[in-house]
Amino acid sequence: MILDHLGVPTPRRLEVSRDGGPKIDKELRDLVTKRLDISLGGYQVTPEVSLREDGDAIIIDGKELEKPFVEKPVSGEDHNVYIYFKGGGGRRLFRKVRKELSCMRLRNLQNHRSATSRAKKIPT
Protein backbone atom coordinates (compact mmCIF):
# COMPACT_ATOMS: atom_id res chain seq x y z
CA MET A 1 0.00 0.00 0.00
CA ILE A 2 2.74 2.49 0.94
CA LEU A 3 4.92 1.58 -2.05
CA ASP A 4 1.93 1.95 -4.38
CA HIS A 5 1.12 5.34 -2.86
CA LEU A 6 4.70 6.53 -3.38
CA GLY A 7 4.79 5.26 -6.97
CA VAL A 8 7.44 2.59 -6.35
CA PRO A 9 7.13 -0.16 -9.00
CA THR A 10 6.31 -3.58 -7.53
CA PRO A 11 5.34 -6.92 -9.08
CA ARG A 12 1.63 -7.62 -9.48
CA ARG A 13 0.36 -9.12 -6.25
CA LEU A 14 -2.74 -10.39 -4.54
CA GLU A 15 -3.05 -10.41 -0.77
CA VAL A 16 -4.80 -12.90 1.48
CA SER A 17 -5.68 -12.08 5.06
CA ARG A 18 -6.71 -14.89 7.38
CA ASP A 19 -6.66 -12.81 10.56
CA GLY A 20 -7.49 -9.22 9.58
CA GLY A 21 -3.91 -8.21 8.77
CA PRO A 22 -1.00 -6.91 10.80
CA LYS A 23 -1.59 -5.09 14.06
CA ILE A 24 -0.31 -1.53 13.76
CA ASP A 25 0.57 0.70 16.69
CA LYS A 26 -1.72 3.76 16.88
CA GLU A 27 1.25 6.14 17.01
CA LEU A 28 2.71 4.71 13.79
CA ARG A 29 -0.69 4.71 12.08
CA ASP A 30 -1.21 8.38 13.00
CA LEU A 31 2.29 9.34 11.80
CA VAL A 32 1.82 7.63 8.40
CA THR A 33 -1.60 9.23 8.00
CA LYS A 34 -0.17 12.67 8.81
CA ARG A 35 2.91 12.40 6.56
CA LEU A 36 1.57 10.39 3.62
CA ASP A 37 -2.18 10.97 3.85
CA ILE A 38 -2.94 7.24 3.76
CA SER A 39 -4.71 5.10 6.29
CA LEU A 40 -3.06 1.86 7.41
CA GLY A 41 -4.95 -1.12 8.74
CA GLY A 42 -8.56 -1.94 8.08
CA TYR A 43 -7.79 -5.28 6.42
CA GLN A 44 -10.68 -7.67 6.14
CA VAL A 45 -10.42 -11.45 6.27
CA THR A 46 -10.29 -12.65 2.64
CA PRO A 47 -13.58 -14.43 2.02
CA GLU A 48 -12.70 -16.51 -1.05
CA VAL A 49 -9.42 -18.17 -2.06
CA SER A 50 -9.29 -21.05 -4.56
CA LEU A 51 -7.28 -22.58 -7.37
CA ARG A 52 -8.32 -22.39 -10.99
CA GLU A 53 -9.51 -25.75 -12.32
CA ASP A 54 -6.25 -26.41 -14.21
CA GLY A 55 -4.24 -25.59 -11.06
CA ASP A 56 -2.07 -22.97 -12.81
CA ALA A 57 -3.54 -19.90 -11.12
CA ILE A 58 -4.79 -18.84 -7.72
CA ILE A 59 -8.07 -16.93 -7.50
CA ILE A 60 -8.51 -14.44 -4.67
CA ASP A 61 -11.84 -12.62 -4.48
CA GLY A 62 -12.35 -13.20 -8.21
CA LYS A 63 -8.88 -11.94 -9.26
CA GLU A 64 -6.52 -14.45 -10.89
CA LEU A 65 -2.75 -14.64 -10.53
CA GLU A 66 -1.01 -17.03 -12.92
CA LYS A 67 1.92 -19.17 -11.85
CA PRO A 68 4.78 -18.78 -11.20
CA PHE A 69 4.09 -16.89 -8.00
CA VAL A 70 5.49 -16.60 -4.50
CA GLU A 71 3.54 -17.18 -1.30
CA LYS A 72 5.06 -15.34 1.64
CA PRO A 73 3.77 -15.09 5.21
CA VAL A 74 3.23 -11.67 6.76
CA SER A 75 5.39 -12.41 9.79
CA GLY A 76 9.11 -11.81 9.35
CA GLU A 77 9.66 -14.61 11.89
CA ASP A 78 7.96 -17.15 9.58
CA HIS A 79 10.56 -18.14 6.95
CA ASN A 80 8.30 -20.55 5.04
CA VAL A 81 8.28 -18.98 1.58
CA TYR A 82 6.88 -21.07 -1.28
CA ILE A 83 7.40 -20.63 -5.04
CA TYR A 84 4.79 -22.36 -7.22
CA PHE A 85 5.51 -23.26 -10.87
CA LYS A 86 3.15 -23.66 -13.82
CA GLY A 87 2.31 -27.31 -14.45
CA GLY A 88 2.81 -28.25 -10.80
CA GLY A 89 5.71 -28.46 -8.44
CA GLY A 90 7.50 -25.77 -6.59
CA ARG A 91 10.12 -24.91 -4.03
CA ARG A 92 10.00 -24.14 -0.36
CA LEU A 93 12.63 -21.64 0.64
CA PHE A 94 13.76 -21.64 4.22
CA ARG A 95 16.41 -20.19 6.42
CA LYS A 96 19.79 -21.86 5.92
CA VAL A 97 20.94 -23.79 8.98
CA ARG A 98 24.49 -25.18 9.07
CA LYS A 99 25.10 -26.92 5.72
CA GLU A 100 21.47 -27.46 4.82
CA LEU A 101 20.42 -26.10 1.43
CA SER A 102 18.21 -23.04 1.53
CA CYS A 103 15.60 -24.44 -0.83
CA MET A 104 13.82 -27.73 -1.33
CA ARG A 105 12.31 -28.83 -4.64
CA LEU A 106 8.78 -30.11 -4.19
CA ARG A 107 7.42 -32.06 -7.14
CA ASN A 108 3.78 -32.36 -6.13
CA LEU A 109 3.16 -28.96 -4.63
CA GLN A 110 -0.45 -28.61 -5.75
CA ASN A 111 -2.14 -27.50 -2.53
CA HIS A 112 -1.26 -23.88 -1.94
CA ARG A 113 -1.29 -22.91 1.71
CA SER A 114 -3.39 -19.81 1.03
CA ALA A 115 -5.99 -21.87 -0.87
CA THR A 116 -6.43 -24.52 1.80
CA SER A 117 -7.64 -24.63 5.36
CA ARG A 118 -4.05 -25.51 6.35
CA ALA A 119 -2.98 -21.86 5.96
CA LYS A 120 -1.40 -20.73 9.21
CA LYS A 121 -2.67 -17.80 11.17
CA ILE A 122 0.12 -15.50 12.25
CA PRO A 123 0.08 -14.98 16.03
CA THR A 124 -0.29 -11.38 17.18
pLDDT tens digits, one per residue of 86-119: 988 888 887 666 666 555 555 555 555 555 544 4
pLDDT for res 77: 78
Residue 71: inside a domain: yes
Domain span at 34: 2-115
Residue 45: inside a domain: yes
Residue 77: inside a domain: yes
Which residues 6+ apart lie within 8 Å of 100 measured at CB? none
Tell me the pLDDT tens digit for each residue of 40-67. Answer: 877 778 778 888 999 899 999 899 999 9
Please tell me whether the overall predicted TM-score, pTM, comes out greater than 0.75 for this model: no
Hey, how many other C-beta atoms are within 10 angstroms of the C-beta on 82? 19
- Residue 39 sits at φ, ψ, to 5 deg, of -105, 120
For residue 83, what is the enclosing H or E element? strand 81-84
How many domains is the chain built from? 1
